[in-house]
Structure 1
């Protein structure tokens, strides 16, 4: 599996100070075994690249899919029936940065567990392991809730929780993350159609949205400047959490 997800992401701030934006991003969905078209490589420099060291474990010292496999095994996940995939924004030339990537464990094509691999712009990473009881399929109506552990934005406190909703079909992917801290927070979304990654689609992505992850980082700093001008309270950066991974969400809410 190697798919090119030409997606839209949006962020909307909740609370007394409003701010919202929406832009396009290029992600890939891969099981890290598929043959790759020439503009993208695994563990080798290219126009687009997927590096094991950037995923699965500590930032910059990852173990790739083996880390995800080990975490699933610790929790008794039925690995013999599973397909493990990574949803991520690949590196562009020499540059890599991902606000969030997702490791996803599929059984019969349905997501039954995932890890949200969250990175901030201060060099820190924390991962949130999400699954239903007994690893039943995760439906769009399920809300998986995990305590916020790591500082991400200097304009938000390390308090409250993340509320994940995950829609994964054979045609599209839609992810909604609601960060809630009392009346404050952020609603973030990611949505896009699934399609085969080709040399043409990857080259067109480099032309249409040049610089890839570097462009995303520039947009993050642009939005930070807007919030600063709006006089949003600015928080100092605390130390990262000691652990790399938080356990399964503290509780599950079904909205069906």
Structure 2
């Protein structure tokens, strides 16, 4: 089983091939933590790095409002029985009161350490969130129908193919959207593990300061670039049942 907590210095790549060609890469920082331990750093570092259950998933109908409780409630909503093993999470940290996490991944383990389900939670810039539940094969591969409005340039159709192997010394995540009548859109994340220490956290803040805010700003900047290229905007659904207000 992978060790948590840890940080991953990441390189994220997006590749669009139709109806315009557009590709970008940028560096970022992701955290890998245990859902039962949302305080992986010392108290004086928490203004820079903190995690809250309310930033993720939906509140469970009953029981205490913990991240583990939210994971279990989400599994139950997808007709997957929660198991007593660990839940490890790849996510962005809240920094100086701000959090934005386009993709959060949860690896749900049995007591013996094997993975029986993965939750892939997607946030958009409109305050919405949606969670996909998959049962990957031994190589971490899975497919799921798309069901959430993420980009103003993408329709809500087709399917996702994923490779979501739990990270260890290296991080390898691949997600490809296959629209019904167009070429695939590919997103890739690669990362190198860094053990958590005060020095490592401060160094990461110098290298990628205010990472959640930078991620949100980059998404908007690339959206403007695509709009200037003439890419048509797909209207957002008037009422999205998965749109909820995110904590700030």
Decide which moves more: 145-154 or 70-79. Answer: 70-79
Cα deviation, 1:152-202, whole Å, max 9, x if unaligned, reads 101111111111112235322211100111323420111212332111111
- Where in structure 2 are the equivalents of 1:12-31 lying within 5 Å? 12-31=15-34
Partner in structure 2 of residue 69 of structure 1: 72
The root-mean-square deviation of aligned C-alpha atoms, in Å, is 2.3
The 8 Å contact of residues 57 and 64 in structure 1, kept in 2 or not, is answered as no
C-alpha distance 240-119 of structure 1, shift in aligned 2 (>3 A): farther
1:213 and 1:243 map into 2 onto residues whose CA distance is 21
User: More strand per residue: 1 or 2?
Assistant: 1
In the alignment, structure 1 residue 37 sits paired with structure 2 residue 41? yes
Partner in structure 1 of residue 237 of structure 2: 238
Where do 5+ consecutive residues of structure 2 fail to align?
A: 60-64, 244-248
C-alpha distance 162-83 of structure 1, shift in aligned 2 (>3 A): same
Partner in structure 1 of residue 158 of structure 2: 160
Partner in structure 1 of residue 246 of structure 2: none
Partner in structure 2 of residue 116 of structure 1: 120
2:113 and 2:185 map into 1 onto residues whose CA distance is 30
Partner in structure 2 of residue 6 of structure 1: 9
C-alpha distance 14-164 of structure 1, shift in aligned 2 (>3 A): same
Partner in structure 2 of residue 56 of structure 1: 57
2:120 and 2:13 map into 1 onto residues whose CA distance is 17
Shift of 1:72: 3.5
Where do 5+ consecutive residues of structure 1 fail to align?
A: 133-137, 245-256
The 8 Å contact of residues 56 and 66 in structure 1, kept in 2 or not, is answered as no
Shift of 1:69: 2.2
Number of aligned positions between the proteins: 230
1:147 and 1:40 map into 2 onto residues whose CA distance is 40
Shift of 1:235: 1.5
Partner in structure 2 of residue 104 of structure 1: 107
C-alpha distance 36-63 of structure 1, shift in aligned 2 (>3 A): closer
1:243 and 1:226 map into 2 onto residues whose CA distance is 27
Partner SS for 1:105 = strand
Partner in structure 2 of residue 206 of structure 1: 205
TM-score after normalising by structure 2: 0.84
Shift of 1:71: 3.5
The 8 Å contact of residues 178 and 185 in structure 1, kept in 2 or not, is answered as yes
TM-score after normalising by structure 1: 0.81
The 8 Å contact of residues 19 and 231 in structure 2, kept in 1 or not, is answered as no
